[in-house]
Amino acid sequence: MKNIVYISLILSFGIVSSSFILKNKSTEIGIKTSSTFYELSFESIDGNNISLSEFKGKNVLIVNTASRCGYTRQYNDLQKLQEAYPSDLVVIGFPCNDFGSQEKGSNAQILEFCQKNFGVNFLLSEKIKIKGKECHPIFTWLTTKSLNDVSENKISWNFNKFLINKQGELVSYFPSNVKPLDKKITSQIK
């Protein structure tokens, strides 16, 4: 009986410690453990602060992008997707240089490249970090089950996609090789 009490105490301490560590990690990176998608924000590529609460009632597709990647041509389909669902979907690209150093340009260079080569007029954020301690809070939320209440997601390359529904809930994660116009994505935009 005494051993059962010790085991229970050890397990309880472990759970409390894990919660404490997660809470401290989330706070350290600027996310409350109770954060919802709509409480998050980002700076656009042209310097405007954008709150995700602006997109309540719409699906949101978030994509980590890069200008010099084998998947860069997906910008075409991301633009087509935005145009196909103008009142139901917001596409947001988050340029990032964390994978293969394939986004070395400045914000101005990235914007010019996207507009000139792919006619991009969907939202782009400023260039961000996704890996390590500097991970942008939106991507921390998208990849951490204790924050998004759905799944742990590991981003290992450019053009990963996250679909959030009209209620601000993470619905699906799609790796780089799933194209933006794939039925796996379009069938969930309602």
State the residue for tokens 């150093």. 101
- DSSP-derived secondary structure letter, 125: B
94, with CB counted inside 10 A (0-12, 13-18, 19+), is buried
- 114 catalytic per annotation: no
5, with CB counted inside 10 A (0-12, 13-18, 19+), is exposed
Cβ atoms of residues 138 and 164 within 8 Å: no
Closest-CA residue to 74 (of 188, 190, 175, 156): 175
Catalytic pick from 69, 96, 114, 135? 69
Which residues are the active-site residues? 69
